[in-house]
Structure 1
Amino acid sequence: MNGVRARRQAAAEKEKTAATNGNSNGKSNGHAAVAPTADDDYPHENIFLFWPNVIGYFRIILAIASLYYMPLHPRTCSLLYSISCLLDALDGYAARYFEQSTRFGAVLDMVTDRCTTACLIVFLSTAFPRWAIVFQGLVALDLASHYMHMYATLAMGGSETSHKAVDRSRSWLLNLYYTNKTVLFVFCALNELFFIALYLLSFSSPILQPSLLKPIVPDAVGNGLHAGAQINSSILRQIFANPHSAAALEMARANKMDSFWPWVLAGISFPVMAGKQIINVIQLVKASKWLAEGDVKARRAAGLPRRR
């Protein structure tokens, strides 16, 4: 009993001494001083106002403006959309220059890219309705491959792993695509250029002639063509838009364009666009296999499948 009392007295005296020291080192108002933490050594930062992210917000504004002009004003829309895409390279440079690389910025950049491209392809589905299934497949492949790749990177590589950190042993092509800035820029830029060229071609279809807006006077027999009739060409019908599709009359009336340069841009960018789709397929397959490998390891750790 005496030993227990002695230990209690010693503990009480120790607490009293600590309290006295705290009061003597505290402020004049009697409160004990709080030891500074490691966070106090750094200035407060607002991630949402980092320069790369501000550029990302500006990209979104330009993209929305381009969508507003998309149905009726191809030149204005193409200019705004192209600037938004080109700023994709600037935000990466700003992130490295200002040392402001963030996970929020990386996700914002990817989401902006996927959404703007999807919106443009959705418009192409209305402008070229016979090819809608192809455009729908491109949108699905783009979204699925990037989502699977991002999820597999976070789940298997860890939350600190960037989606651009692709090990060469998994895919040398994806490693080259994500680590070489020139290759990444060329593929992304020409991929968007191809869809912009198709968008401009939708305003230069030979089917969408201004004369379609004028009714044709019937001849003496009473025969005549109705406004909106198509040129009798099976090849043109397969390639170009139906005059009765969305915004076709406005295209014919106010926005008729020469098709030479859109065809040139489409021809130059098509091989790269096709290569980009191949990369999307590889990315989807590799991410799926990586997740499956993780599932096998998790099942073995859980003792599955159970031995009979």
Structure 2
Amino acid sequence: MAKHKEKDLKSWPIYLYVPNLIGYARIVANIIAFGESFSNKNLFTALYFFSFVCDELDGRFARMLDQASTFGAVLDMVTDRVSTAALLVVLSHLYRPCFAFFLALLALDIASHWLQMYSTFLSSKTSHKDVKDSKSWLVKVYYQHRLFMGYCCIGAEVLYLVLYLLSEDQPHGVIKVFMAGIKRKSPLMLLGLLALPGWAIKQIVNVVQLKTAADICVLYDLERKKRP
């Protein structure tokens, strides 16, 4: 009976796999959230957090139901990157003195992940998380230890949400808002300070990942030139 049920699940159209349905729910939640990002902070935070939790659930259901798919992996990664990018755009408006800083973070996030995915394709790997042959110990630790990677990823998203919630009607710089939050002894500041190291490590990983992925692309070109 259990085998029959598992076979039925596998026979579903890939677009209707449970993890992918969760992915669609994330997209809908994000569309509504960002539509309200400048008018309803509580709704935005709730929906963005819902999407973030679902990011963990889709992977669990994929493994539990044996419904992992290439489409699902791409859907998950694209949703992650677009969500973070959109939040950084919102923050760039809320903290206008730091506009260039948030756009730089956005560019680094997109560029490092895109180049990592492309180098994975060139290396004939099935996942961008397969970094066994990476020359960077930091990238290896990041992708091979789920708790460490989880802390860094969650830390980055939590820090951005904290900055979003601390933002004021009049645009100020990040440091000024942080200092004001510390003076008020805001609980959000404690959460932000706990998340800060994870965010910082993630940015370093993005830079290292960008460089190592670029090296793989260059090596591919050199090896291709050697072919007769």
Q: TM-score range by the shorter chain?
A: 0.7 to 0.9
* Counterpart residue number, 1:239: 176
Mapping for residues 54-65 of structure 1, pairs under 5 Å: 54-65=21-32
Assess if the C-alpha contact under 8 Å between 1:130 and 1:238 holds in 2.
no
Distance change >3 Å, CA 63–CA 299, structure 1 → 2: same
If the length of structure 2 is used for normalisation, what is the TM-score? 0.87
The count of residues paired between Structure 1 and Structure 2 equals 214
RMSD over aligned Cα atoms: 2.3
Matched, 1:266 2:192: yes
Cα shift at 1:236: 7.3
Matched, 1:188 2:153: yes
Cα shift at 1:101: 1.0
Distance 1:189 1:237 in 2: 20
Select which of 110, 127, 132 maps to 1:143.
110
Distance 1:194 1:166 in 2: 27
Distance 1:88 1:185 in 2: 11
* Counterpart residue number, 1:217: none
SS of the residue 2:67 aligns to: coil
Distance 1:259 1:200 in 2: 15
Matched, 1:152 2:135: no
Distance change >3 Å, CA 109–CA 259, structure 1 → 2: farther
Cα shift at 1:238: 7.2
Cα shift at 1:264: 2.0
Distance 1:114 1:276 in 2: 14
Distance 1:238 1:185 in 2: 26
Distance change >3 Å, CA 200–CA 155, structure 1 → 2: same
SS of the residue 1:125 aligns to: helix
Cα shift at 1:265: 2.0
Mapping for residues 1-308 of structure 1, pairs under 5 Å: 44-156=11-123, 158=124, 161-203=126-168, 239=176, 260-302=186-228
Distance change >3 Å, CA 133–CA 300, structure 1 → 2: same
Distance change >3 Å, CA 188–CA 238, structure 1 → 2: closer
Distance 2:174 2:122 in 1: 47
Which string of whole-angstrom CA distances, capped at 9 and with x for unpartnered residues, describes residues 146-166 of structure 1? Answer: 00000000112x1x5211111
Distance 1:261 1:277 in 2: 24
Which string of whole-angstrom CA distances, capped at 9 and with x for unpartnered residues, describes residues 127-148 of structure 1? Answer: 1111011000000000000000
Assess if the C-alpha contact under 8 Å between 2:155 and 2:195 holds in 1.
yes
Cα shift at 1:85: 0.7
Assess if the C-alpha contact under 8 Å between 1:89 and 1:185 holds in 2.
no
Which string of whole-angstrom CA distances, capped at 9 and with x for unpartnered residues, describes residues 246-291 of structure 1? Answer: xxxxxxxxxxxx8812322222211111110000001100000011
Q: Name stretches of at least 5 consecutive residues in structure 2 with no aligned partner.
A: 1-8, 178-183
If the length of structure 1 is used for normalisation, what is the TM-score? 0.65
Which string of whole-angstrom CA distances, capped at 9 and with x for unpartnered residues, describes residues 161-210 of structure 1? Answer: 2111111543332222223222222111111000000001114x7x58xx
Distance change >3 Å, CA 236–CA 196, structure 1 → 2: closer
Assess if the C-alpha contact under 8 Å between 1:51 and 1:95 holds in 2.
yes
Assess if the C-alpha contact under 8 Å between 1:52 and 1:94 holds in 2.
yes
Distance change >3 Å, CA 259–CA 61, structure 1 → 2: farther
Cα shift at 1:91: 0.7
Structure number having the greater helix percentage: 2
Which string of whole-angstrom CA distances, capped at 9 and with x for unpartnered residues, describes residues 212-259 of structure 1? Answer: xxxxxxxxxxxxxxxxxxxxxxx979735xxxxxxxxxxxxxxxxx88
Which string of whole-angstrom CA distances, capped at 9 and with x for unpartnered residues, describes residues 74-133 of structure 1? Answer: 111111101111111111111110111111111111100000111111011111111011
Distance change >3 Å, CA 155–CA 75, structure 1 → 2: same
Q: Whose Rg is larger?
A: 1
